C-alpha cells in the first residue's frame, strides 16, 4: 500500500499502489488481498507553505456531470442507506479529545471545517472524492470542479480511475467550510522522479495531517500506514484515512457513466458511493447540530448514524 510520510526520500518512480488504504482493511485481509495492499510504499514529502505550481491542464467538469453528482435524489440516498452489494464500505472513525477544527467562510462566519488532503495521481483519492462531493453538496454547493483521472503510469494500480479535482474548486455553505489540498498532479516528472508538485498544505493543515492521520488515532492502522491519503478530518470529530471503498468498484466505467448512475439505487457502483456519502453526511451532521434537518433526519443518514453509534 502506498503511503505518504514527511521529509523522507522519494523513490525513483512511484511504485504500484499509488497512495492510501483500501476500505474495510480487515475484510480485505480476510479475503486475501493484503499481499497486494502491503506490496510497496510511496514516500511523499509534506511541506508547510501554501502554494500552487506545476499543475496539469485544468478541464472543467461538464454542467451535466456536476449536476448529477451534486444533486443526487434524496430517495436514492435513502434507498441505499449503508448497504453496498459490490464492496465493503468503511465509516469515518470517531476522534475524541481533539480541538475543534473550524474555518472562516467567505462571509466571515466561523464554521466547522471539513479538511481534505490528497493528490490527483492517487486512485484512492479518486474513489473518495465521489462520495465526499455528494455529501458536502447536501450542505452547500461547489463551483469549478474539474475532471481528473488517477495516474495511468504503467505499473500503477487502478489506473485511470475517473474522478474530479478540487484544485480550482470553491465551496459555499452556511453550515460548513471545506478546504482541500491536492499535493501532486497525475503528471509524472522524470527530473523529480515523482509526480509534479501542485499544492502544499499550510503549517496548520500539515500539522493536523501529521498528528491525526496515524495509528495513534485510527484503530486498526499500523504504524507503517501512518499518513495515508486521502485524509479527511471532519471537524476533528471524525477521520477518514484511505478510501472508504475500493477504487476497483469504478473500474471500466467512465465519469459520465458513474455520474449518470447515481440516480439509480440498484447500481452496484452507486451503492458503494452513496453508502459512503451517507456515512460522511452523518459525521458532518454532528458538526452542524443536525442541520439542515431534512438531510440529517433522512432515512439514509439515520441508518448511517445507527451504524456509527451516533445519537
Predicted local confidence at residue 19, as pLDDT:
54
| 61 touches 164 (CB < 8 A) | yes
Predicted local confidence at residue 85, as pLDDT:
86
Could you give the CA distance from residue 297 to residue 235 in angstroms, rounded to a whole number?
Answer: 20
The DSSP code for 149 is E
| 160 touches 152 (CB < 8 A) | yes
**How is residue 64 written as a grid cell?**
451535466
Cis, bond preceding 93 (omega within 30 deg of 0): no
Q: Which residue has the higher pLDDT, 308 or 7?
A: 308
Q: Express the helix, strand and coil content of the chain in percent, nearest 5 each.
A: 30, 20, 50
Q: Is the pLDDT of residue 184 over 90?
A: yes
Give pTM, 2 decimals: 0.85
| Low-confidence winner among 99-103, 104-108, 143-147, 275-279 (lowest mean pLDDT) | 104-108
Predicted local confidence at residue 11, as pLDDT:
31
Over residues 82-93, the pLDDT tens digits come to 999 889 999 999
- List residues bridging with 146 in a β-sheet: 60, 165
Sign of the torsion angle spanned by Cα atoms 190, 192, 194, 200: negative
Q: Is the pLDDT of residue 15 over 50?
A: no
Over residues 219-276, the pLDDT tens digits come to 999 999 999 999 999 999 999 999 999 999 999 999 999 999 999 998 889 999 999 9
Predicted local confidence at residue 200, as pLDDT:
97
Q: Which of 2, 37, 9 is nearest to 193 (CA)?
A: 9
H helices of 159-228, in order, are 203-212
**What's the chain's Rg over C-alpha atoms?**
18
SS3 132: helix
Predicted local confidence at residue 299, as pLDDT:
98
Q: Which residue has the cell 451516533?
A: 310
Q: What are the distances in angstroms from CA 306 to CA 194, 215, 283, 303?
A: 42, 25, 11, 5
Q: Is the pLDDT of residue 7 over 70?
A: no
* Secondary element (H or E) of residue 300: helix 299-308
Predicted local confidence at residue 20, as pLDDT:
61
Over residues 125-165, the pLDDT tens digits come to 999 999 999 999 999 999 999 999 999 999 999 999 999 99
Could you give the CA distance from residue 54 to residue 50 in angstroms, rounded to a whole number?
Answer: 14
SS3 162: strand
Over residues 58-83, the pLDDT tens digits come to 999 999 999 999 999 999 999 999 99
Could you give the CA distance from residue 14 to residue 270 in angstroms, rounded to a whole number?
Answer: 30
Instruction: Spell out where 67-129 has E strands.
Output: 93-94, 102-104, 110-118
Over residues 30-59, the pLDDT tens digits come to 222 222 222 222 333 333 333 344 446 899
Amino acid at each position: 500500500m502506498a503511503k505518504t510520510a514527511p521529509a523522507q526520500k522519494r523513490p525513483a518512480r512511484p511504485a504500484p499502489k499509488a497512495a492510501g488504504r483500501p476500505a474495510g482493511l480487515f475484510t480485505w485481509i480476510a479475503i486475501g488481498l493484503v499481499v497486494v495492499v502491503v506490496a510497496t510504499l510511496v514516500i511523499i514529502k509534506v511541506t508547510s507553505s501554501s502554494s500552487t505550481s506545476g499543475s496539469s491542464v485544468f478541464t472543467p467538469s461538464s454542467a451535466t456531470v456536476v449536476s448529477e453528482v451534486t444533486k443526487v435524489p434524496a430517495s436514492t440516498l435513502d434507498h441505499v442507506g449503508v448497504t453496498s452489494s459490490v464492496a465493503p464500505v468503511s465509516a469515518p472513525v470517531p476522534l475524541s479529545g481533539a480541538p475543534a477544527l473550524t474555518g472562516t467562510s467567505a462571509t466571515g462566519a466561523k464554521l466547522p471545517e471539513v479538511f481534505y488532503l490528497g493528490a490527483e495521481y492517487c486512485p484512492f483519492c479518486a474513489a473518495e472524492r465521489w462520495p465526499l462531493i455528494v455529501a458536502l453538496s447536501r450542505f452547500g454547493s461547489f463551483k469549478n470542479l474539474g475532471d481528473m483521472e488517477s495516474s495511468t503510469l504503467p505499473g500503477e494500480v487502478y489506473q485511470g480511475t475517473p474522478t474530479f479535482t478540487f484544485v480550482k474548486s470553491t465551496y459555499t455553505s452556511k453550515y460548513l467550510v471545506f478546504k482541500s489540498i491536492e499535493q501532486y498532479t497525475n503528471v509524472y516528472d522524470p527530473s523529480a522522479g515523482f509526480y509534479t508538485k501542485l499544492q502544499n498544505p499550510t503549517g496548520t493543515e500539515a500539522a493536523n495531517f501529521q498528528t491525526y492521520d496515524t495509528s495513534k488515532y485510527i484503530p486498526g492502522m499500523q504504524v507503517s500506514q501512518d499518513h495515508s491519503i486521502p485524509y479527511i478530518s471532519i471537524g476533528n470529530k471524525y477521520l477518514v484515512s484511505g478510501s472508504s471503498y475500493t477504487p476497483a468498484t469504478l473500474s471500466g466505467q467512465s465519469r459520465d457513466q458513474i455520474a449518470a448512475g447515481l440516480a439509480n439505487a440498484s447500481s452496484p457502483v452507486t451503492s458503494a458511493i452513496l453508502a459512503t456519502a451517507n456515512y460522511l453526511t452523518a459525521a458532518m451532521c454532528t458538526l452542524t447540530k443536525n442541520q439542515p434537518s431534512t438531510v440529517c433526519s433522512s432515512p439514509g443518514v439515520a441508518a448511517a448514524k445507527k451504524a456509527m453509534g451516533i445519537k
